[in-house]
Structure 1
Amino acid sequence: MKKILLSTAAVVATAGAALAGGVAAPVMEPVIAPVVVAAAPVGAWQGGYAGANLSWGKVGIDGYDDLDGAGIALRGGYDWQNGNTVFGLGADYDFGKQKADFVGGEQALKNAGTVFARLGYDANGWLPYASLGYTWAKMEGPVVNENVDGYTIGLGVERKFTPNWAGYAEISHTDFGNIDALGVDADMQKIKLGVNYRF
């Protein structure tokens, strides 16, 4: 009996010691949600931009062979946005030239600069637009050697790939009107592929 009492006391003492600290509450690690930095909306077009384009153009002079060739141009401008409507002003300058071999040497159109206004529609990162502008250039060669100018109309689409970078494609038609030296009309068509960095 004495042994049974001692054994029972030992068991109770051990259990009491084990429970002296009470039942430990489970430790919960705090859950920290990841911080997500929202990017600027891709469809926001308002602001300034600067970029460049590669182009191929053809100049037609009534009664003469066409001039053609590639160019590279710098472009810059500023857009305003109201809802989905985008209005902008811009300019570009083409360092290339359109040319052809005529009797007496090369006839070329070069140093073409354009100022333009454009109106577009924000279509969730795409910006189809129409433009109207004024272009001036130098016609130089054995047949015509004078400055020419005229109105330019264009159609294009610009696409944002990031909040700051966009690519665009554009076609344009320029009517230089009457060439004084020849008494005939001249015009130019261009296809442009370019990129803009938007501020």
Structure 2
Amino acid sequence: MLWLAKLLARIAVGFVALSLVLVIVFRFVPVFYTATMAMDPNPVVRNWEPLSSIDRNLVSAVIAAEDGKFCTHDGFDREAIENAMRRNMEGGRIRGGSTISQQTAKNVFLWQGGGYFRKGLEAWFTFLIEKMWGKRRIMEVYLNVAETGIGTYGAEEGALRYFRHSADRLTRTEAARMAAALPSPKTRSVTNPTGFTRRYGNTIAARIGVVRRDGLDSCVYE
């Protein structure tokens, strides 16, 4: 069994080394392609833009919608995780407690879907990007790799698809509608939202003001 222990140790060391290299590289290099894009059955369009070319309204909108504690947590919102676990134990629709940092780690380095193994890897990569990237880079990568529509990835392509203009001049309403659709971009309408998506978008648009007032996006613009 000694040989097996040595093999596992080598695999672990190799994985840690590879993950560190990848995180360091993507600290500086745009992420142009991910496993999610590779597994997408639809033709993929993507367009990397620096955060300076993405309207602040979208940054505020995704914080309002996805992760209000983005600037204060260490990558994990433990209260949200505990609440999600409690709701899931009670039955009904499964809900997650993932932060923007966790979603970024998953989108860049891993694959979609659940499972404890993938969640463990997600936690590892989340820890690394929080320590080595910082909040601004995490937000920049998130807004460039997130699926924003059928076969559409990133804020720029999403803005062009839905509003026919660049992501550098999104109104609060436009940004809020994009943020409202992020959890299910293949099924939620951005241009003509109805029902829950429309109500949720209106709520996010109103929360953008709170995000600005309380400095909940300040870590991105320090």
TM-score category (smaller protein): under 0.3
Structure scoring higher RCO (CA < 8 A, sep ≥ 6) equals 2
Q: What TM-score does the superposition give when structure 2 sets the normalisation length?
A: 0.17
Q: What TM-score does the superposition give when structure 1 sets the normalisation length?
A: 0.18
* Bigger proportion of residues as helix: 2
